[in-house]
A and B are shown apart, each in its own frame.
Chain A
Amino acid sequence: MKCEWVRQNIVLHVYDELADDARYELDQHVARCTECAAELQAAREFRQMMATVTVAEPTPNLLASSRMRLQEALETAQQGGFWNRLTFDPGVWFRQIRFSPALAAILLLAGFGGGTAATFRVMSDRAGRDPIVDKSPSPEEANITGIRSITPEPGTNRVNIKYDTVNTKETAGSLNDARIQQLLLFAAQNNTNSGVRVDSVDLLKQRLNDSRVREALVYALRYDNNPGVRLKALEGLGSYVPDDVRVRDAVLETLSSDSNQGLRTEALRVLEPVRADASVRAVLERLAVKDQNRFIRDQSRVVLAQLPEID
């Protein structure tokens, strides 16, 4: 009976699925039973043999094209769930009904009646300290509906941001200020004004040690429809290509499929430090043969020619 139990549980033991007490019992039995010990050894060899064959990762091209296809499909896909529509963030809801004339008129009247445009300037009350304190409600308490402008102060790391909630507000502060960073992140992804997005990405480039900022710039590189914004993002992310695989993948996608040839050229330059990487090499090999753009084909071949041969 014991041997039968052991044989049925050996595979669970090998795959670390046994509870501690069961594993102990099995080990005790195997120490005394040569047949079961041989069976355990065979099961371990089987697992090792299966593990010698590694699983191929999807190629960067396949992943990139899958993501692009999905993104296109998501643009027309509808979410289900009637009740979900009642739990919208009011800011998102406001943006969705902005083309509804009657409702927009009501909101406008409410805005004029109750809202004020306020400007608050953050003052540093002590020399050498970053200005933090501000009288306006933090963006977390209000619903941000848009960023109107971002104005860096020359010669300092302070920035002036004008943003809309139901009212228009303005705030200023250091790039180290969490609230300023939040507004810049919002601007980089949500603003309908590409100039504001360019400004925000340009400033966020200085904070790439923050993973949220890096994700925002990767997002901008992948999905912003303005090539100027994408180029700013790429400029900032370049130094992270050797160390951050997500950044490298995003730059590879840009090289493979961005609609702007200037961006693709810049992506190729940015990937130079990691040109020997297997995923980069694979993309370059494909581009060298199949890319429609002659310059990209030629440059890919040039980079590949500089790589050492794989033995």
Chain B
Amino acid sequence: MAGESLNRIDDTVLVREAQRGDRAAFEDLVRRYDQAVLRLALRMTGSEHEAQDIYQEAFLKAYRNVGNFRFECSFYTWIYRIVTNLCLDHLRRKQVRREDSGVVVNADGEEFSVIDHTADERANANPERDLLRRELGSQIGRALEKLTPRERMVFELKHYHGLKLRTVGEMLNTTEETAKNTLFRATQKLRGALADLR
């Protein structure tokens, strides 16, 4: 808790310096959150190119508008709000059809499974288990595609990023109650789609 307070104080200092034109301060802020931003964009788009584009657009938007930031929320919430909106726009604009869910397109245009790419370094990893895990990952990916963009975003932020629904609501410019209802609908749909696996 003390660490979180300190982090927030540091963010406030950096934001004020960035608002005064200190680009290095802004870059410090970027580095605090950019890995999480890129992770979210990568999961939502399935493409390294598009994830990079969203990353770029989000932080440039933040840079251009940092002068308007009024500390009504944390910088963390603010940047996530920008990214989630960009990801939602992406999901709504594009029809992402993947034969094999969780497939990512890298910068060379090669496709590879997000699950495959996650190196399994556990001492007791074995190929059969890896295969089952990949199959499960594919099915989960297909089930996630059946969600609406908003349902998908709420579920991603809650389940994979561990955010509180109150924060998720702030990021999506809605209420905590709406975020709860959306999570409920998302999990019901996913459980229905994955019922055969259990």
Contact B104–A56 (Cβ < 8 Å): yes
Q: Which residues of A contact B198 (CB under 8 A)?
A: 42, 45-46, 49
Residues A17 and B165 in contact in the complex (CB < 8 Å), given A52-B136, A74-B60: yes
B180 touches which of A12, A43, A73, A74 (Cβ 8 Å): A12
Interfacial residues of chain A within 39-57, with CB under 8 A of chain B in the complex: 42-43, 45-47, 49-57
Of the candidates A62, A78, A189, A223, which one forms a contact with B64 in the assembled complex, judged by CB atoms under 8 Å apart? A78
Interface size class, chain B: 35 or more
Which of these, B63, B119, B197, contacts A74 with CB under 8 Å?
A: B63
The residue that A62 contacts in the complex, of B27, B38, B66, B140, with Cβ under 8 A, is: B38
Inter-subunit contact B64/A49 (CB<8 Å): no
Q: Would you call B67 and A80 a contact (CB within 8 A)?
A: yes
CA distance A83 to B59 in the complex (A): 21
Select which of B30, B102, B136, B184 is within 8 A of A11 by beta carbon.
Answer: B184
Q: Which of B21, B38, B191, B197 contacts A88 (CB 8 A)?
A: B21
- In the bound complex, residues from chain A placing their C-beta under 8 Å from that of B187 are 11, 43, 46
CA A53 to CA B144, docked complex, whole Å = 13
A215 to B52, CA, bound (A): 24
CB distance A79 to B63 under 8 Å? yes
Would you call A138 an interface residue if the criterion is a C-beta within 8 Å of the partner chain's C-beta atoms?
no
**Please, which residue of chain B has its CB at the minimum distance from the CB of A250?**
B31
Question: Is the CB of B68 closer than 8 A to any CB of chain A?
Answer: yes
Give the shortest distance, in Å, between A270 (CB) and chain B (any CB).
20
Chain A residue with the shortest CB-CB distance to B168: A17
User: Could you tell me the distance between the alpha carbons of A189 and B19 in the complex, rounded to whole angstroms?
Assistant: 18
Q: Which of B28, B43, B66, B158 contacts A79 (CB 8 A)?
A: B66
Q: In the complex, are the beta carbons of B20 and A66 less than 8 A apart? A: no
Question: Chain A contacts of B102 at CB under 8 A?
Answer: 53
Given A12-B180, A81-B67, A87-B20, answer yes or no on A50-B159 (Cβ-Cβ < 8 Å).
yes
Inter-chain CA distance A15–B186, complex, in Å, is 13
Is A77's beta carbon under 8 Å from chain B?
yes
Q: Compute how far the CA of A11 lies from the CA of B31 in the bound complex, rounded to whole angstroms.
A: 34
Given A62-B38, A79-B64: A70 in contact with B59 (beta carbons within 8 A): yes
Q: Is B133 an interface residue (CB 8 A)?
A: yes
A50 touches B140 (CB 8 A): yes
Interface of B is mostly: helix
Q: Does B91 contact A (CB under 8 A)?
A: no
Q: Assuming A56-B118, A70-B56, is B24 touching A80 (CB within 8 A)?
A: no
**Cβ–Cβ contact A54 & B118, under 8 A:** yes
Partner of A84, one of B19, B56, B114: B19
**A239 contacts the other chain (CB 8 A):** no
Closest-CB distance, B195 to chain A (whole angstroms): 10
Given contacts A12-B180, A79-B67, A278-B121, contact A46 B34 (CB under 8 A): no
**Residue from A12, A65, A67, A89 having most chain B Cβ neighbours under 10 A:** A67
Contact status of A81 and B68, CB under 8 A, knowing A15-B183, A62-B38, A62-B52 = yes
In the complex, the answer to whether A53 meets B39 with C-beta atoms within 8 Å is no
Contacts of B137 in A (CB 8 A): 53
Return chain A residues, CB-CB under 8 Å to B67: 79-81, 83-84
Residues of B46-82 at the interface with A, using a CB-CB cut-off of 8 Å, are: 48, 51-52, 55-56, 59-60, 63-68
> Within 8 Å of chain B (Cβ to Cβ): is A28?
no
**Interface pair B38/A63, CB less than 8 Å apart:** yes
> Beyond the given A58-B38, A70-B59, A81-B68, could you list 18 further A-B residue pairs with CB under 8 A, ordered by the A residue number?
A12-B183, A12-B184, A15-B158, A45-B198, A46-B187, A53-B140, A57-B118, A58-B35, A70-B34, A73-B60, A77-B60, A79-B64, A81-B19, A83-B67, A84-B19, A88-B20, A92-B22, A215-B28
Which 7 pairs across A and B sit closest by C-beta, in order of nearness? A81-B67, A84-B67, A56-B114, A58-B38, A53-B137, A56-B118, A11-B187
11 residue pairs of the A-B complex, CB under 8 angstroms, read A17-B164, A52-B136, A53-B115, A56-B117, A66-B38, A66-B55, A66-B56, A67-B31, A77-B63, A79-B19, A84-B21
Residues of A within 8 A of B (CB): 8, 11-12, 15, 17, 42-43, 45-47, 49-59, 62-63, 65-67, 69-71, 73-74, 77-81, 83-85, 87-89, 92, 96, 189, 215, 219, 223, 278, 282, 310-311
